Amino acid sequence: MRADFPRDRIFFHGNNKSEDELLAASAEGVGRIVVDNLDEITLLARVAAKREARTPVLLRVGPGVDAHTHAHLLTGAEDTKFGLDIASGAAEAGVRAVLERPKLELLGFHAHIGSQIRDIDPYREAVERLFVFAAEMRGKTGVVAREMSPGGGFGVRYTMDDPYTRPADMAREVARTMAEAARRHGFADPLPDLTIEPGRSIIAPAGVALYRVGSVKHGARTYVAVDGGMADNIRPTAYGAKYTAVLASRVSGDDVTDVAVAGKYCETGDILIQRIALPLPRVGEVIAVPASGAYQLSMASNYNMAPRPAVVVVADGHARLVRKRESYADVLAAEMG
Amino acid sequence: MRADFPRDRIFFHGNNKSEDELLAASAEGVGRIVVDNLDEITLLARVAAKREARTPVLLRVGPGVDAHTHAHLLTGAEDTKFGLDIASGAAEAGVRAVLERPKLELLGFHAHIGSQIRDIDPYREAVERLFVFAAEMRGKTGVVAREMSPGGGFGVRYTMDDPYTRPADMAREVARTMAEAARRHGFADPLPDLTIEPGRSIIAPAGVALYRVGSVKHGARTYVAVDGGMADNIRPTAYGAKYTAVLASRVSGDDVTDVAVAGKYCETGDILIQRIALPLPRVGEVIAVPASGAYQLSMASNYNMAPRPAVVVVADGHARLVRKRESYADVLAAEMG
């Protein structure tokens, strides 16, 4: 809202949307509520009753496809907190529950099958299952899906070892897969609208994290300690996520040596990069970590009471501060001292 | 500072203290700087030069003892970002570097061997190694350790499966272990001061997290979704940490069923408790998670732009708000919109 993004283009997701959140979304005319569960349908119907217009919804379903285990596609019901599972009949119950609410308008279905996907196959399988389900619901209830959202999760290249998938190629493949499945299942005239969610693949490579070196310690490994770490990027600690780095002040030229890039927080596991070949950094130099735009500051904490960093947008020779560096006063603002 | 804690009782830790932080600590008369590395000694000496009084320091050393792998004590040098390793000679270099700075006063040694320790044995080994090292340094340089800090890490009971260690018993054992080692190595007259760091064992059991149920979903498992999760408690997602829970409104009486307590954030891994037997929760009921006082709000984020929760202190029939619930305005305060 603050950024004045067009409300009708917003999709509101979540497995536990509160009444306050749904009221706010309704008041603002948010484009789609992606309904997750039966309790939410009950709640949303109550909220929607207060509006003149019908509230447009997609139903999040579980197609039983996991991007990372699609060899095991046929195991049936999926075990996830998200959505209503197709195989068990829960998704059908969801469709019927939405259709029973006159102020809710079921426009189609959403599924999200994972993250860091580099391969079209799991999408193809998920899209196929979405259309099989949509055709079944059309037959049983008469509802015709006009929108389909097979989610996002397109892979991002964090290190040079990661393959590079061009977003345009992935989008084209998903679109073709959708169109083929739609025609196969009698949804060709008109084709349903396709929604994709390429957030991480856009924002991750757009961000570069800059850290200043505070100490260099030689021992079992060479630890280069920087003025950030798990508070601004929990992903290496929490998920074993891999990043690469360059020494911003001396990108090339010098002999390189293997170092660990350690954060400054009070945990042994606070290591941003376990092993990276760099010209041996000196105290005061800056290390740049590419592909730092997604799931980092959005998950940043004030661990050890550390203020969170600033964000600067750089383009065409200009730099603009878009997020202020926090102060200690900011960090303590909520404390009733 | 804001809480007006006595400055001389503060120990300032960290593997990458910035110059600004050391200047602030120096200006405030912080009791001990626990020096981590050679670069910090250089920096601290520069900061200390501006003060009349000498700056009291402990040196953080790596004793080569890990609480969780103490079967492998004899592998020599430890691989951690913290402190200066004894076995490799790095710790001795640290002692000499401090002693060369006339404005730094080396009072003794600190080590921290892990967390969730339930057993005195790793402490005994670490304390022994601290004193062996201290005796060696006394012989080589004349410096006499007057303070010893074998850290903290006393185990906390998160679930009923965790053993209960009385903090008083652990403290008594550590003190006796210290005194014995001191006498054995000629540090008996007077005994060095003992510092312990029992933070988590105090604050973890002091906190109870309260969550309200937003949906109950039956499927492969029964998912009870609550109005919190990995943004206020990253530990289950990041470390596989285990918690227990009770249904606050119906602690006992009803038949219980196995449920998963799921958070509301946009990750499949956002599960606070994988499996817990509870009376089947209803939407709107409150789930209480004990032992939630440590490493939770201190690591809390605004993931999914969610405001962080309030903290209420309850004692003797009174309740007092000590930390305000964040608002959306707070969450967006740093954005330059």
Over the stretch B86-112, which tens digit does the pLDDT of each residue have?
Answer: 999 999 999 999 999 999 999 999 998
Query: Among all residues of chain B, which has the CA nearest to that of A81?
Result: B223
In terms of domains, do B15 and B54 share one? yes
- Segment holding A58, helix H or strand E: strand A55-62
In terms of domains, do A266 and A182 share one? no
pLDDT, residue A42, reads 98
Instruction: Render pLDDT for A256-297 as a digit per residue (tens, 0 to 9).
Output: 999 999 999 999 999 999 999 999 999 999 999 999 999 999
Q: pLDDT at residue A67 above 80?
A: no
pLDDT, residue A70, reads 45
In terms of domains, do A260 and A299 share one? yes
Asked if A69 reaches chain B (Cβ–Cβ under 8 Å), the answer is no
DSSP strand pairing (B271-279 vs B256-262): antiparallel
pTM comes to: 0.94
Say if B336 falls within a structural domain.
no
Say if A2 falls within a structural domain.
no
Instruction: Render pLDDT for A231-258 as a digit per residue (tens, 0 to 9).
Output: 999 999 998 999 999 999 888 767 999 9
Report the C-alpha gap between A228 and A286 in whole angstroms.
12
Examine the fold and report which residue of A158, A180, A203 is the final residue of a domain before the chain moves on. Answer: A203
Q: pLDDT at residue B242 above 70?
A: yes
Asked if B40 reaches chain A (Cβ–Cβ under 8 Å), the answer is yes
User: Any alpha helices (H) in A10-166, and if so which ranges?
Assistant: 19-28, 38-48, 90-99, 121-141
CB within 8 Å of chain B, chain A residues 112-151: none
Q: pLDDT at residue B279 above 80?
A: yes
Name which residue leads in pLDDT, B322 or B69: B322
Q: pLDDT at residue B271 above 80?
A: yes
Distance from CA of A273 to the nearest CA of B (A): 12
Q: In this complex, do B299 and A303 lie within 8 Å of one another by their Cβ atoms?
A: yes
Say if B18 falls within a structural domain.
yes
In terms of domains, do A69 and A198 share one? yes
CA-closest candidate to residue B131, choices B170, B180, B80? B180
Say if B150 falls within a structural domain.
yes
Best probe of the A interface among B85, B215, B303, by most A CBs < 10 A, is: B215
Examine the fold and report which residue of B203, B225, B240 is the final residue of a domain before the chain moves on. Answer: B203
Question: Which residues of B fall within a CB distance of 8 Å from A221?
Answer: 79
pLDDT, residue A155, reads 87
Examine the fold and report which residue of A172, A203, A234 is the final residue of a domain before the chain moves on. Answer: A203
In terms of domains, do A67 and A127 share one? yes
- Looking at chain A, the whole-number percentage of residues with pLDDT higher than 90 is 81
Say if A167 falls within a structural domain.
yes
In terms of domains, do A262 and A324 share one? yes
Mean pLDDT of A305-315: 97
CA–centroid distance for B66 within its chain: 15
**Lowest mean pLDDT, pick from A76-90, B53-67, B293-307:** A76-90
pLDDT, residue A219, reads 84
CA-to-CA separations, B218 to A15, A89, B215, B251, in angstroms, rounded: 13, 11, 10, 22
Distance between first and last Cα of chain A: 32
- Active-site annotation holds for A91: no
Say if B1 falls within a structural domain.
no
pLDDT, residue A115, reads 82
B107 with A236: CB under 8 angstroms?
Answer: no
Question: Which residues of A fall within a CB distance of 8 Å from B217?
Answer: 37-39, 81, 84, 90
pLDDT, residue A79, reads 80
The CATH number assigned to the domain holding A49 equals: 3.20.20.10
- For residue B232, what are its two tokens? 């206020």
Q: pLDDT at residue A136 above 70?
A: yes
In terms of domains, do B191 and B229 share one? no
**Lowest mean pLDDT, pick from A3-7, A35-39, B4-8, B171-175:** B171-175
Say if B314 falls within a structural domain.
yes
Q: pLDDT at residue B77 above 90?
A: no
Q: pLDDT at residue A76 above 70?
A: no
The whole-chain average pLDDT of chain A stands at: 92
Asked if A39 reaches chain B (Cβ–Cβ under 8 Å), the answer is yes
Report the C-alpha gap between B310 and B209 in whole angstroms.
10
Asked if A68 reaches chain B (Cβ–Cβ under 8 Å), the answer is no
pLDDT, residue A75, reads 40
Instruction: Render pLDDT for A112-134 as a digit per residue (tens, 0 to 9).
Output: 888 888 778 888 888 999 999 99
pLDDT, residue A308, reads 98
Asked if B331 reaches chain A (Cβ–Cβ under 8 Å), the answer is no
Report the C-alpha gap between A334 and A219 in whole angstroms.
41
pLDDT band at A56 (very low <50, low <70, confident <90, very high): very high
In terms of domains, do B217 and B156 share one? no
In terms of domains, do B25 and B108 share one? yes
Query: Among all residues of chain B, which has the CA nearest to that of A313?
Result: B336
Instruction: Render pLDDT for B15-49 as a digit per residue (tens, 0 to 9).
Output: 999 999 999 999 999 999 999 999 999 999 999 99
pLDDT, residue A68, reads 61
How many structural domains are present in chain B? Answer: 2
Question: Which residues of A fall within a CB distance of 8 Å from B270?
Answer: 81
Mean pLDDT of A52-77: 73
Mean pLDDT of A22-32: 96
Asked if B324 reaches chain A (Cβ–Cβ under 8 Å), the answer is yes
A208 with A290: CB under 8 angstroms?
Answer: yes
CA-closest candidate to residue A82, choices A13, A10, A155, A24? A13
Say if B125 falls within a structural domain.
yes
Asked if A303 reaches chain B (Cβ–Cβ under 8 Å), the answer is yes
Q: Which of B175, B188, B238, B266 is catalytic?
A: B266
pLDDT, residue B299, reads 97
Instruction: Render pLDDT for B182-199 as a digit per residue (tens, 0 to 9).
Output: 999 999 999 999 999 999
In terms of domains, do A196 and A321 share one? no
pLDDT band at B12 (very low <50, low <70, confident <90, very high): very high
Maximum Cα–Cα distance across chain A: 70
In terms of domains, do A184 and A225 share one? no
CB within 8 Å of chain A, chain B residues 258-287: 260, 262-264, 266, 268, 270-271, 283
* CA Rg value for chain B: 23
The CATH number assigned to the domain holding A227 equals: 2.40.37.10
Q: In which domain, by residue range, is B262 found?
A: 207-331
CB within 8 Å of chain B, chain A residues 241-260: 260
pLDDT, residue A74, reads 40
In terms of domains, do B161 and B24 share one? yes
